[in-house]
Amino acid sequence: MRRPIALLIVLALAWSVVNIDAPEGAPLRVTGLALGVALIAAYLAGVLLERLKLPKVTGYLLFGLVCGPYLLNIINRPMARELQVFNGLAVALIAFIAGLEINAARLRPRLASIAQLGAVVLATMYLVLFAVFWFAWPWLPIEPDAPPALRAALAFLLTSVVASFSPTVTIAVVAESRSAGTYTETSLAIVILADLILILMFTLAMELVRWTGGGSAQQVGLLAAASWEIIGSLAFGAIVGALFSFYLRSIGREVTLVLVGVCLLLSIAARALHFEPVLAALAAGLVVENVAPPEGDALKRAVERGALPVLVIFFVAAGASLQVDALATIGLVALAIAVLRGVLAWGGAHLGSRLSGQDGPVSSMLWMSLISQAGVTLGLTLIAAQEFPTWGVPFQTLMVALIAINQLIGPVLFRNALARAGEIGQMDGGAARPH
């Protein structure tokens, strides 16, 4: 009973504070309040849902959604926006933790089969989605009268975005549930591989749209832009990781401060240089784990223990940013695409598992790790919407609705799969927990 009372007290405090006649500029100072409410109240909501046999992650997401700007408005729009700013740091730390989990020596024997599996899954999704979008184009709310060439390019663009996954959410669920094992590793590898492919495909699709839409191609070459983003991100992250490893080995003082600095660097500097922060942070963690094993292992254990606040904030921010109004306007089409996407993920994962010789949880449940969509997809959608406002706005609305659906379902499915695979809690070498 103590926790529900504490939850009510925290919510009442937040409600009172934001409803008092706040001084000018108060919305700009809202981040601390948003963080405090999100941390305590969302965590307690997660714990309460856990008693109902639902994952804590669902509690965090639902808390963000219910208390967010679209429903109860306890986390109002400025608060939700500020949480997103904090999210940059959270994403970097989450990806860094994921990098610390990837041990190259352990993964190497399975690399070929994982690549084969990923290729089949992505090929299945790309081919079928493109065909469906091409034929169903007149019924989709994006430039239905487009000439054939533009229609093909737009269908390809839509395919590349719809077929994307969310490495951040996947990694966050793994970190929150402290999962480890074959299924976890394979899922992580596939979504990260898909992220690399997504960047390539989206760049290609945007160039095709520019070309077929009568616009001029960008000055920077297609390959150069994509290479800069992928190879540049990995190289930048690797350099940061190597420097951090050196610091750990040779100085080893004020590691908390330096780690926060590293995550800020990976988040802010990577964006400024047009790198992908998730890839950069992943590469940094990977280098620390594989270049400085004893220090990397110790750091991994310490960081994982302290990562819970970051994970809670990440999921609350995701829930609060879900634009449920988009669902109201375009929900049925988005739902149909979400169902198709889920079926293709299931089919592709089964086919890929058979062809690559995977069995067990990977074969039967890989699709459950491929449902989540979040920040990267949203960011790419925004790029398209800003460059092509005529059809970009309905395109963005459709994708926002699709992301809302997948964001609500994806983490729950994946965590459920991790529980069924018996890999929850294995990061500590402990016994699996049911939820």
How many residues lie near other proteins (CB under 8 A)?
A: 57
On whether the CB atoms of residues 66 and 72 are closer than 8 A, the answer is yes
Q: Please select the residue that binds other proteins; options are 22, 104, 112, 231, rule is CB under 8 A.
A: 22
Q: Does 60 bind other proteins (CB under 8 A)?
A: no
Q: Is 399 in the site for other proteins (CB under 8 A)?
A: no
Kindly tell me which of 60 and 367 has the beta carbon lying closer to other proteins. 60
Cα–Cα distance between 152 and 132 in angstroms, integer?
Answer: 11
Tokens 């960008």: give the residue: 218
Kindly state whether residue 243 participates in binding other proteins, applying the rule CB under 8 A. no
Stretch that binds other proteins, among 62-70, 136-144, 216-224, 302-310 (CB under 8 A): 302-310
H helix or E strand, kind and range, residue 335: helix 324-356
Cβ 410 vs Cβ 341: under 8 Å? no
Q: Is 92 in the site for other proteins (CB under 8 A)?
A: no
Question: Are the C-beta atoms of residues 94 and 294 closer than 8 Å to each other?
Answer: no
Going residue by residue from 307 to 346, which x/- string records binding to other proteins, judged by CB under 8 A? xxx--x----------------------------------
CB contact burial 248-265 (16+ within 10 A = b; e otherwise): beeeeeebeebbeebbeb
In the list 248, 281, 399, 400, the residue contacting other proteins (rule: CB under 8 A) is: 248
Amino acid 136 reads A
Applying CB under 8 A, does 35 fall inside the site for other proteins? yes
**Shortest reach from residue 122's CB to other proteins, in Å:** 35
Q: Find the binder of other proteins among 72, 104, 123, 251 (CB under 8 A).
A: 251
Among 95, 121, 128, 299, interactor with other proteins by CB under 8 A: 299
Q: If you write DSSP's letter for every residue of 203-216 in order, what string do you get?
A: HHHHHHHHHHTT-P
- Asked if 379 and 168 touch (Cβ cutoff 8 Å), the reply is no
CB 80 within 8 A of CB 317: yes
| Residue among 80 and 401 whose Cβ is closer to other proteins | 80
Query: Of all helices (H) and strands (E), which one includes residue 432?
Result: none
Q: Does 9 participate in binding other proteins (rule CB under 8 A)?
A: yes
Q: How far is the CB of 305 from other proteins (least distance, A)?
A: 6
Cα 268 to Cα 32, 87, 276, 309, 428: the distances in Å are 20, 11, 10, 20, 31
| Closest distance of CB 37 from other proteins, Å | 7
Please select the residue that binds other proteins; options are 252, 357, 389, 430, rule is CB under 8 A. 252
Angle ∠(106,111,114) on CA atoms, nearest 5: 120
- Least distance in angstroms from the C-beta of 34 to other proteins: 7
List of residues contacting other proteins (CB under 8 A):
2-3, 5-6, 9-10, 12-14, 17-18, 20-24, 26, 28-40, 43-44, 82, 85-86, 248, 250-257, 259-260, 268, 295, 298-299, 302, 305-309, 312
